Amino acid sequence: MTYEQLKQRKELILLDCISGSTAYNLNVTGSDVDKKGIFIMPQKQLYGFDQQGQIANASNDEVYFEIGRFLELLTKNNPNILELLSTPKEHILFRHPLMDLIKPEDFLSKLCLDTFAGYAQTQIKKARGLNKKINKPLGAERKSVLDFCFVIYNNGSIPLKEWLKEYGFSQEECGLVNVDHFRNVYLLYHQKQLTQGQFKGISSGPDADDVQLSSVPKGIESIAVMNFNKDSYSIYCREYKEYLEWEEKRNEQRYQSTLSHGKSYDAKNMMHTFRLLNMAEEIAIYRKVIVKREDRDFLLKIRNGEFEFSDLIKTVEDKMEHIKVAYANSPLPDRPGIQVAEKLLMQIRESFYDA
Protein backbone atom coordinates (compact mmCIF):
# COMPACT_ATOMS: atom_id res chain seq x y z
CA MET A 1 0.00 0.00 0.00
CA THR A 2 1.36 3.39 -0.99
CA TYR A 3 0.96 6.71 0.77
CA GLU A 4 -1.58 7.79 -1.87
CA GLN A 5 -3.58 4.55 -1.41
CA LEU A 6 -3.60 5.01 2.36
CA LYS A 7 -4.95 8.54 1.96
CA GLN A 8 -7.76 7.16 -0.21
CA ARG A 9 -8.63 4.62 2.48
CA LYS A 10 -8.97 6.96 5.43
CA GLU A 11 -10.93 4.36 7.37
CA LEU A 12 -7.59 2.62 8.01
CA ILE A 13 -6.11 5.65 9.79
CA LEU A 14 -6.27 5.47 13.57
CA LEU A 15 -4.43 8.69 14.38
CA ASP A 16 -3.53 11.72 12.27
CA CYS A 17 -1.51 14.56 13.81
CA ILE A 18 0.48 17.68 13.09
CA SER A 19 3.96 16.96 14.43
CA GLY A 20 7.44 18.46 14.48
CA SER A 21 8.10 22.12 15.26
CA THR A 22 4.39 23.05 15.20
CA ALA A 23 3.51 20.48 17.86
CA TYR A 24 6.60 21.46 19.88
CA ASN A 25 5.55 25.14 19.80
CA LEU A 26 8.90 25.86 18.18
CA ASN A 27 7.76 26.77 14.68
CA VAL A 28 9.06 29.99 13.15
CA THR A 29 8.55 31.70 9.81
CA GLY A 30 9.46 29.22 7.10
CA SER A 31 9.09 26.11 9.29
CA ASP A 32 7.79 23.02 7.51
CA VAL A 33 4.53 21.45 8.62
CA ASP A 34 5.13 17.77 9.34
CA LYS A 35 2.55 15.09 9.98
CA LYS A 36 2.67 11.74 11.73
CA GLY A 37 0.03 9.15 12.30
CA ILE A 38 -0.96 5.53 12.84
CA PHE A 39 -2.79 3.18 10.49
CA ILE A 40 -3.91 -0.42 10.56
CA MET A 41 -3.29 -2.83 7.71
CA PRO A 42 -6.28 -4.33 5.92
CA GLN A 43 -6.98 -7.75 7.41
CA LYS A 44 -6.18 -9.65 4.21
CA GLN A 45 -2.80 -7.92 3.97
CA LEU A 46 -2.09 -8.82 7.58
CA TYR A 47 -2.36 -12.52 6.75
CA GLY A 48 -0.10 -12.31 3.69
CA PHE A 49 3.54 -11.57 2.96
CA ASP A 50 3.10 -7.90 2.04
CA GLN A 51 3.21 -6.37 5.50
CA GLN A 52 4.24 -2.78 6.07
CA GLY A 53 5.46 -1.18 9.25
CA GLN A 54 5.60 2.35 7.92
CA ILE A 55 4.31 4.47 5.03
CA ALA A 56 5.56 7.93 4.06
CA ASN A 57 5.10 10.47 1.32
CA ALA A 58 7.87 11.27 -1.17
CA SER A 59 9.39 14.08 0.92
CA ASN A 60 9.16 12.00 4.12
CA ASP A 61 7.49 14.81 6.02
CA GLU A 62 4.30 12.76 6.44
CA VAL A 63 4.90 9.40 8.12
CA TYR A 64 2.37 6.80 9.26
CA PHE A 65 3.21 3.80 11.45
CA GLU A 66 1.25 0.55 11.31
CA ILE A 67 -0.30 -0.13 14.71
CA GLY A 68 1.86 -3.23 15.29
CA ARG A 69 5.06 -1.35 14.53
CA PHE A 70 3.85 1.59 16.59
CA LEU A 71 3.30 -0.56 19.69
CA GLU A 72 6.62 -2.33 19.17
CA LEU A 73 8.44 1.02 19.12
CA LEU A 74 6.40 2.13 22.11
CA THR A 75 7.83 -0.74 24.14
CA LYS A 76 11.28 0.58 23.22
CA ASN A 77 10.35 4.09 24.45
CA ASN A 78 11.12 5.56 21.05
CA PRO A 79 10.94 9.38 21.44
CA ASN A 80 9.07 9.99 18.17
CA ILE A 81 6.44 7.41 19.10
CA LEU A 82 5.92 8.69 22.65
CA GLU A 83 5.65 12.24 21.29
CA LEU A 84 3.09 11.14 18.70
CA LEU A 85 0.98 9.43 21.36
CA SER A 86 1.16 12.59 23.50
CA THR A 87 0.38 15.10 20.73
CA PRO A 88 -1.46 18.18 22.10
CA LYS A 89 -5.21 18.06 21.37
CA GLU A 90 -5.10 21.16 19.17
CA HIS A 91 -2.78 19.35 16.75
CA ILE A 92 -4.75 16.09 16.51
CA LEU A 93 -6.59 16.01 13.18
CA PHE A 94 -8.25 12.65 13.78
CA ARG A 95 -8.21 10.12 16.59
CA HIS A 96 -10.01 6.75 16.44
CA PRO A 97 -11.71 5.74 19.71
CA LEU A 98 -9.53 2.60 19.81
CA MET A 99 -6.52 4.85 20.44
CA ASP A 100 -7.94 5.62 23.89
CA LEU A 101 -6.82 2.13 24.90
CA ILE A 102 -3.16 3.17 24.57
CA LYS A 103 -2.00 5.46 27.36
CA PRO A 104 1.55 6.90 27.43
CA GLU A 105 1.87 6.50 31.19
CA ASP A 106 1.45 2.73 30.83
CA PHE A 107 4.67 2.57 28.80
CA LEU A 108 6.98 5.19 30.29
CA SER A 109 10.05 3.65 31.90
CA LYS A 110 13.64 4.32 32.88
CA LEU A 111 14.52 3.30 29.34
CA CYS A 112 13.66 6.91 28.42
CA LEU A 113 16.97 7.93 29.93
CA ASP A 114 18.70 6.05 27.12
CA THR A 115 16.27 6.92 24.33
CA PHE A 116 15.58 10.61 24.93
CA ALA A 117 18.96 11.54 26.43
CA GLY A 118 20.71 9.13 24.05
CA TYR A 119 19.04 10.77 21.06
CA ALA A 120 20.12 14.12 22.50
CA GLN A 121 23.71 12.86 22.50
CA THR A 122 23.29 12.03 18.81
CA GLN A 123 22.22 15.61 18.17
CA ILE A 124 25.32 16.84 20.02
CA LYS A 125 27.48 14.61 17.85
CA LYS A 126 25.91 16.15 14.74
CA ALA A 127 26.49 19.64 16.10
CA ARG A 128 30.10 18.80 16.96
CA GLY A 129 30.57 17.34 13.48
CA LEU A 130 29.32 20.51 11.82
CA ASN A 131 31.45 22.62 14.16
CA LYS A 132 34.50 20.64 13.05
CA LYS A 133 33.58 20.83 9.34
CA ILE A 134 33.17 24.61 9.50
CA ASN A 135 36.24 25.39 11.60
CA LYS A 136 38.54 22.72 10.17
CA PRO A 137 37.44 22.32 6.56
CA LEU A 138 39.27 19.74 4.48
CA GLY A 139 40.97 21.19 1.43
CA ALA A 140 39.48 20.79 -2.00
CA GLU A 141 42.60 18.83 -3.05
CA ARG A 142 42.71 15.37 -1.55
CA LYS A 143 45.90 14.41 0.28
CA SER A 144 47.82 11.35 -0.88
CA VAL A 145 49.80 8.55 0.74
CA LEU A 146 52.95 10.70 0.41
CA ASP A 147 51.50 13.32 2.79
CA PHE A 148 51.52 10.70 5.55
CA CYS A 149 55.10 9.49 5.05
CA PHE A 150 58.04 10.67 7.17
CA VAL A 151 61.80 10.09 6.94
CA ILE A 152 64.32 9.74 9.80
CA TYR A 153 66.47 12.86 9.58
CA ASN A 154 69.03 14.55 11.93
CA ASN A 155 67.95 12.66 15.08
CA GLY A 156 64.32 13.34 14.25
CA SER A 157 62.01 13.11 11.29
CA ILE A 158 60.74 15.30 8.47
CA PRO A 159 57.90 14.86 5.96
CA LEU A 160 58.88 12.71 2.99
CA LYS A 161 57.99 15.49 0.55
CA GLU A 162 60.44 17.86 2.25
CA TRP A 163 63.15 15.18 2.20
CA LEU A 164 62.60 14.52 -1.52
CA LYS A 165 62.74 18.23 -2.29
CA GLU A 166 65.96 18.71 -0.32
CA TYR A 167 67.71 15.94 -2.24
CA GLY A 168 66.13 16.75 -5.60
CA PHE A 169 64.48 13.34 -5.85
CA SER A 170 61.05 12.37 -7.16
CA GLN A 171 59.02 9.65 -5.48
CA GLU A 172 58.87 7.73 -8.78
CA GLU A 173 62.68 7.29 -8.65
CA CYS A 174 62.59 5.64 -5.22
CA GLY A 175 62.07 2.09 -4.01
CA LEU A 176 60.96 0.63 -0.70
CA VAL A 177 61.47 -2.66 1.13
CA ASN A 178 59.94 -3.78 4.43
CA VAL A 179 61.84 -3.63 7.71
CA ASP A 180 61.17 -6.85 9.59
CA HIS A 181 59.33 -6.51 12.93
CA PHE A 182 58.57 -2.79 12.36
CA ARG A 183 55.02 -2.06 11.26
CA ASN A 184 54.78 0.35 8.31
CA VAL A 185 58.53 1.11 8.42
CA TYR A 186 60.58 0.82 5.21
CA LEU A 187 64.13 1.12 3.93
CA LEU A 188 64.31 3.67 1.14
CA TYR A 189 66.52 3.49 -1.98
CA HIS A 190 67.07 5.71 -5.04
CA GLN A 191 67.34 4.92 -8.72
CA LYS A 192 70.92 6.27 -8.89
CA GLN A 193 72.02 3.26 -6.82
CA LEU A 194 71.02 0.84 -9.58
CA THR A 195 73.19 -0.15 -12.52
CA GLN A 196 70.22 -1.73 -14.31
CA GLY A 197 66.43 -1.88 -13.95
CA GLN A 198 64.34 0.64 -12.04
CA PHE A 199 62.33 0.99 -8.85
CA LYS A 200 58.52 1.12 -8.80
CA GLY A 201 58.29 4.33 -6.81
CA ILE A 202 56.93 4.92 -3.32
CA SER A 203 53.32 5.23 -4.43
CA SER A 204 51.49 4.14 -7.57
CA GLY A 205 49.66 7.49 -7.79
CA PRO A 206 47.47 10.06 -6.02
CA ASP A 207 44.61 7.57 -5.51
CA ALA A 208 46.77 4.82 -3.97
CA ASP A 209 45.74 3.52 -0.56
CA ASP A 210 49.17 2.17 0.41
CA VAL A 211 52.85 2.41 -0.45
CA GLN A 212 54.35 -0.12 -2.86
CA LEU A 213 57.46 -2.30 -2.56
CA SER A 214 60.30 -2.80 -5.04
CA SER A 215 62.90 -5.49 -5.59
CA VAL A 216 66.33 -4.33 -4.39
CA PRO A 217 69.58 -6.11 -5.39
CA LYS A 218 71.67 -7.46 -2.53
CA GLY A 219 74.54 -5.37 -1.27
CA ILE A 220 72.91 -1.97 -1.76
CA GLU A 221 72.71 0.19 1.36
CA SER A 222 69.51 2.12 2.01
CA ILE A 223 69.78 5.91 1.99
CA ALA A 224 66.93 6.54 4.44
CA VAL A 225 64.35 4.96 6.74
CA MET A 226 60.72 5.90 6.11
CA ASN A 227 57.50 5.46 8.08
CA PHE A 228 54.02 5.49 6.53
CA ASN A 229 51.39 6.56 9.09
CA LYS A 230 48.75 4.32 7.60
CA ASP A 231 46.27 4.64 10.46
CA SER A 232 46.16 8.43 10.14
CA TYR A 233 45.80 8.14 6.37
CA SER A 234 42.83 5.77 6.76
CA ILE A 235 41.12 8.16 9.17
CA TYR A 236 41.77 11.06 6.81
CA CYS A 237 40.28 9.17 3.84
CA ARG A 238 37.13 8.38 5.81
CA GLU A 239 36.74 11.97 7.02
CA TYR A 240 37.41 13.35 3.53
CA LYS A 241 34.70 11.12 2.07
CA GLU A 242 32.27 12.19 4.81
CA TYR A 243 33.16 15.84 4.18
CA LEU A 244 32.44 15.59 0.45
CA GLU A 245 29.14 13.81 1.15
CA TRP A 246 28.24 16.51 3.67
CA GLU A 247 29.01 19.27 1.15
CA GLU A 248 26.87 17.55 -1.47
CA LYS A 249 23.88 16.75 0.76
CA ARG A 250 23.82 19.61 3.28
CA ASN A 251 20.75 21.77 3.59
CA GLU A 252 22.13 24.99 2.14
CA GLN A 253 19.55 27.25 3.79
CA ARG A 254 20.25 25.69 7.18
CA TYR A 255 24.01 25.87 6.59
CA GLN A 256 23.87 29.57 5.68
CA SER A 257 21.77 30.15 8.80
CA THR A 258 24.51 28.49 10.84
CA LEU A 259 27.13 30.75 9.27
CA SER A 260 24.99 33.85 9.79
CA HIS A 261 24.86 33.54 13.58
CA GLY A 262 28.63 33.12 13.62
CA LYS A 263 28.84 30.36 16.21
CA SER A 264 29.91 27.58 13.77
CA TYR A 265 27.55 24.88 15.06
CA ASP A 266 24.18 23.59 13.93
CA ALA A 267 21.95 25.64 16.22
CA LYS A 268 18.85 23.65 15.28
CA ASN A 269 20.50 20.40 16.38
CA MET A 270 21.53 22.01 19.66
CA MET A 271 17.99 23.30 20.21
CA HIS A 272 16.63 19.77 19.84
CA THR A 273 19.37 18.49 22.14
CA PHE A 274 18.04 20.64 24.97
CA ARG A 275 14.42 19.88 24.09
CA LEU A 276 15.09 16.17 24.38
CA LEU A 277 17.06 16.53 27.60
CA ASN A 278 14.29 18.63 29.17
CA MET A 279 11.68 16.10 28.08
CA ALA A 280 13.77 13.25 29.51
CA GLU A 281 13.96 15.03 32.86
CA GLU A 282 10.20 15.76 32.84
CA ILE A 283 9.43 12.09 32.21
CA ALA A 284 11.47 11.07 35.25
CA ILE A 285 9.92 13.71 37.51
CA TYR A 286 6.32 14.10 36.26
CA ARG A 287 5.85 10.73 34.51
CA LYS A 288 4.45 12.31 31.35
CA VAL A 289 5.63 13.43 27.92
CA ILE A 290 5.26 17.17 27.48
CA VAL A 291 5.34 17.83 23.74
CA LYS A 292 4.31 21.50 23.69
CA ARG A 293 7.37 23.37 24.95
CA GLU A 294 6.86 26.07 27.55
CA ASP A 295 10.62 26.67 27.33
CA ARG A 296 10.13 27.98 23.77
CA ASP A 297 11.96 31.28 24.38
CA PHE A 298 15.10 29.56 25.72
CA LEU A 299 15.10 26.95 22.95
CA LEU A 300 14.68 29.56 20.22
CA LYS A 301 17.56 31.55 21.68
CA ILE A 302 19.70 28.44 21.14
CA ARG A 303 18.38 28.14 17.59
CA ASN A 304 19.25 31.79 16.97
CA GLY A 305 22.86 31.18 18.01
CA GLU A 306 22.78 33.35 21.14
CA PHE A 307 25.06 31.00 23.09
CA GLU A 308 28.63 29.86 22.65
CA PHE A 309 29.05 26.21 21.66
CA SER A 310 31.41 25.46 24.56
CA ASP A 311 28.94 26.93 27.07
CA LEU A 312 26.11 24.81 25.69
CA ILE A 313 28.20 21.66 25.89
CA LYS A 314 29.09 22.42 29.52
CA THR A 315 25.40 22.95 30.32
CA VAL A 316 24.54 19.65 28.62
CA GLU A 317 27.12 17.79 30.71
CA ASP A 318 25.80 19.30 33.94
CA LYS A 319 22.21 18.60 32.94
CA MET A 320 22.98 14.97 32.14
CA GLU A 321 24.21 14.45 35.71
CA HIS A 322 20.95 15.87 37.12
CA ILE A 323 18.90 13.68 34.77
CA LYS A 324 20.75 10.53 35.82
CA VAL A 325 19.97 11.32 39.46
CA ALA A 326 16.32 11.97 38.58
CA TYR A 327 16.01 8.55 36.92
CA ALA A 328 17.82 6.80 39.76
CA ASN A 329 15.21 8.22 42.17
CA SER A 330 12.23 7.79 39.83
CA PRO A 331 9.50 5.20 40.57
CA LEU A 332 9.32 4.41 36.84
CA PRO A 333 9.75 0.73 35.95
CA ASP A 334 13.01 -0.33 34.33
CA ARG A 335 11.32 -1.23 31.04
CA PRO A 336 7.80 -1.14 29.54
CA GLY A 337 5.64 -4.25 29.70
CA ILE A 338 5.75 -6.07 26.38
CA GLN A 339 2.83 -8.32 27.36
CA VAL A 340 0.64 -5.24 27.88
CA ALA A 341 1.48 -4.05 24.37
CA GLU A 342 0.77 -7.46 22.83
CA LYS A 343 -2.59 -7.65 24.58
CA LEU A 344 -3.50 -4.18 23.36
CA LEU A 345 -2.45 -5.03 19.79
CA MET A 346 -4.69 -8.12 19.71
CA GLN A 347 -7.59 -6.19 21.28
CA ILE A 348 -7.31 -3.34 18.76
CA ARG A 349 -7.03 -5.65 15.74
CA GLU A 350 -9.97 -7.81 16.85
CA SER A 351 -12.17 -4.79 17.56
CA PHE A 352 -11.27 -3.07 14.30
CA TYR A 353 -11.62 -6.08 11.99
CA ASP A 354 -14.85 -7.25 13.66
CA ALA A 355 -16.49 -3.84 13.38
**Which of 234, 264, 290 lies at the terminal end of a domain, its last residue?**
234
What local confidence, expressed as pLDDT, does residue 266 receive? 75
Residue 350 has pLDDT above 50, yes or no: yes
Q: How is the beta sheet containing 62-66 ordered, strand by strand?
A: 54-56, 62-66, 34-39, 13-19, 92-95
Residue 240 lies in a domain: no
What pLDDT is stored for residue 137 in this prediction? 60
Q: Could you tell me if residue 241 is inside a domain?
A: no
Whether residues 267 and 124 fall in one domain: yes
In a shared domain, residues 180 and 198? yes
Of 231, 212, 227, 243, nearest to 141 by C-alpha is 243
Residue 37 covered by a domain: yes
Q: At residue 52, does pLDDT exceed 80? A: yes
133 versus 188: which is more confidently predicted?
188
Amino acid letter, residue 2? T
Q: Give CA–CA dist 107/163, Å, rounded.
A: 65
* For the chain, percent of residues with pLDDT exceeding 70: 90
Phi-psi region of 120 (alpha: psi -120 to 50; beta: other; left: phi over 0): alpha
pLDDT for 246: 66
pLDDT-derived band at 46, boundaries 50, 70, 90: confident
pLDDT at residue 239, rounded to an integer: 83
Q: Do the domain assignments include residue 41? A: yes
User: Could you give the 3-state DSSP secondary structure of residue 222?
Assistant: coil
User: DSSP code of 349?
Assistant: H
115 plus 187 within the same structural domain: no
pLDDT exceeds cutoff 60 at 99: yes
The enclosing domain of 39 has a CATH number of 3.30.460
Which pLDDT score is estimated for 142?
A: 86
DSSP letters of 52-96?
A: -SEEE-TTSSEEEEEHHHHHHHHTTT-HHHHHHHT--GGGEEEE-
Q: Flag whether the pTM goes above 0.75.
A: no
**Domain interval for residue 159:** 145-234
Q: Are 26 and 98 spatial neighbours (Cβ–Cβ below 8 Å)?
A: no
Residue 259 confidence (pLDDT) above 50:
no
- The structural domain count of the chain equals 3
pLDDT in tens, 276-313: 999 999 999 999 999 999 999 999 999 888 888 889 88
